[in-house]
Structure 1
Amino acid sequence: MKAKLTALAVVLVLTAAAMVGFITWQVRGHQEERPEISVFTHGTLVRVGPLLYCDRTLTKCDPPGHIAELSVNDAEPVQLSVESQISRGPWAITPAYADLAAPSTKYGDQMIYWDHRTTATVPTVDRAGRKLVGIEVAVPTVGVDEFGEQVFKARATWSVATVWKD
């Protein structure tokens, strides 16, 4: 009977130690998942991680991420969606358009969403006939400029460059 109690005690201690080790590994070994955006057009879906991601005070930032690429054409718009972690607060889309024959970039009107919307449509050709060359999605925070004035600054940015297919 004494041997059974000793064996049971050893099993319980080992199980508890394994659980503590696993929980410690989970907490320390994994960085918090960063939200992604998705862009979709003519059958192609691309998931995009942040190019820039900082805390709300802009004091701690992740290393820079990557600019994603999406093949587009002038017949179909880009469908953009954001995760709920992004849409809980204000977020903005800034499309960039250019005349590909004589490139000079023109930023389209920034669209700011405050209504928990998770999707938006971005035309691949603007009203002037310029083609979409990129999309930036940003989450703002309030910062202070060099004059002590409060300004909106991006604390997180996702970036997509378009590749035109004829």
Structure 2
Amino acid sequence: MKAKLAALGAVLVLTAAAMVGFIAWQLREHREGPAERPEISAFTHGTVIHAAPYQYCDKNKLNQCDPLGHTVELVVNAHEPVQLSIDGRIAKAPWMLSRIYAPVGDVDHKRAESSVYRDHRTAVTIPTVDNEGRRLLGLEIKLPTVVQTETGDLIEVTHAIWSVATVWKN
């Protein structure tokens, strides 16, 4: 009988300790808020902008996403490139940069150029005018993840996006 009471007492003590730990963790999480999301920054012509994620989903639970963010605008000209800076938390995984260009006055004929960086790169220089004279309309940084479908196939999906639109200054 004493052994059963001792075992029951130990279980109650462990349960109480676990509950106290869980409550303390929840209070800390509530007080501090969710983890800060990584940002990107872009610099050109003496101006720097910082962009929070446009879309950010848990890479392990893709249906758990933050509310959609905003596309940030950056004023550019034809003479100075954009210096893009990537948070180290983004750069430690492979990430994709998409640059969208279009001929002057003809945004219906957009052309996207994409690069994937696997080398932990945290900075990229982006020309505002490409080799064919098209202007940079915007750029997106994407963090992909691989998921397994119900049929067992592995596919790549994006779980985070940062978006910058250019505003042209003559």
Identify the TM-score tier after normalising by the shorter chain: 0.7 to 0.9
| Count, aligned residues | 145
Match of 1:46 in 2: 49
Q: For 1:27, give the aligned amino acid.
A: E
- Normalising by the residue count of structure 1, what TM-score does the alignment of the two structures yield? 0.81
Q: Identify if the C-alpha distance between structure 1 residues 23 and 132 changes in structure 2 by more than 3 Å, giving closer, same or farther.
A: same
Q: Hey, what's the Cα distance between the residues in 2 that align with 1:120 and 1:127?
A: 17
Q: For 1:79, give the aligned amino acid.
A: Q
Q: For 2:55, give the aligned amino acid.
A: L
Q: Hey, what's the Cα distance between the residues in 1 that align with 2:156 and 2:121?
A: 20
Map 1:119-130 onto structure 2 (within 5 A).
Answer: 119-130=123-134
Alignment equivalent of 1:86, drawn from 82, 85, 90: 90
Q: What CA deviation, in whole Å up to 9, does each residue of 1:51-96 have, x standing for no partner?
A: 0001113131101000000000010110001111101110110000
Alignment equivalent of 2:142, drawn from 125, 133, 138: 138
The reply on whether 1:28 has 2:56 as its aligned counterpart is: no
Q: For 1:50, give the aligned amino acid.
A: P
* Runs of 5+ consecutive residues of structure 1 not aligned to the other structure: 1-20
Q: Hey, what's the Cα distance between the residues in 2 that align with 1:136 and 1:118?
A: 15
Report the aligned-residue RMSD. Answer: 2.0
Match of 2:112 in 1: 107
* Runs of 5+ consecutive residues of structure 2 not aligned to the other structure: 1-22
- Normalising by the residue count of structure 2, what TM-score does the alignment of the two structures yield? 0.79
Give, in angstroms, the shift of residue 111 of structure 1. Answer: 1.1
Q: For 1:68, give the aligned amino acid.
A: V
Q: For 1:28, give the aligned amino acid.
A: H
Structure with the higher fraction of residues in strand conformation:
2
Q: For 1:105, give the aligned amino acid.
A: K
Q: Identify if the C-alpha distance between structure 1 residues 141 and 22 changes in structure 2 by more than 3 Å, giving closer, same or farther.
A: closer
Moved over 2 A (4+): 21-26, 143-149
Match of 1:61 in 2: 65
Q: For 1:107, give the aligned amino acid.
A: A
Q: Hey, what's the Cα distance between the residues in 2 that align with 1:158 and 1:101?
A: 25
User: Identity of paired residues, percent?
Assistant: 45
Q: For 1:113, give the aligned amino acid.
A: Y
